Amino acid sequence: MPLVAHNDLPTFSKLKQEGLQVLSPGLANQQDIRELHIGLLNMMPDAALAATERQFLRLIGESNPIAQFFVHPFTLDALPRDASSQAHIDKYYDKFSQIKEQGLDALIITGANVIGPDLSREVFWDSLIEVADWAHDNVTSTLCSCLATHAVLDFRYGQKRTKQRSKKWGVFRHQVVEVSHPLVDDINSVFDVPHSRWNDVSPQQFAAAGLKVLVTGDDGCVHLATSPDGFRTIFFQGHPEYDTVSLLKEYKRDVNLYINGEITDYPPMPENYISEFNAAVLREYQGRVVKSMAEQSKLPGFPEHLVLKNLQNTWQDTASAVIGTWLGLIYQVTNVDRRRPFMDAVDANNPLGL
pLDDT, tens only, 50-85: 999 999 999 988 876 577 889 999 999 999 999 999
pLDDT band for position 341 (cuts 50, 70, 90) = very low
- Set 146, 174, 181, 223: catalytic member: 146
Domain boundaries, the chain: 3-242+314-333, 246-308
pLDDT band for position 194 (cuts 50, 70, 90) = very high
- Set 53, 62, 122, 241: catalytic member: 241
Catalytic residue check, 146: yes
Q: Which residue has the higher pLDDT, 55 or 4?
A: 55
pLDDT, tens only, 273-296: 999 999 999 999 999 999 999 999
Side by side, which strands form the sheet with 222-226? Answer: 22-23, 3-4, 68-74, 35-41, 106-109, 141-145, 233-236, 222-226, 212-217, 162-176, 190-200
Catalytic residue check, 88: no
Q: Which class does domain 3-242+314-333 fall in?
A: alpha beta
**What pLDDT, on a 0 to 100 scale, did the predictor assign at position 345?**
42
Length of the chain: 354
**How many C-beta atoms lie closer than 10 Å to residue 118's C-beta?**
11
Catalytic residue check, 221: no
HSE toward the beta carbon, residue 351, CA cutoff 13 A: 23
pTM of the model: 0.87
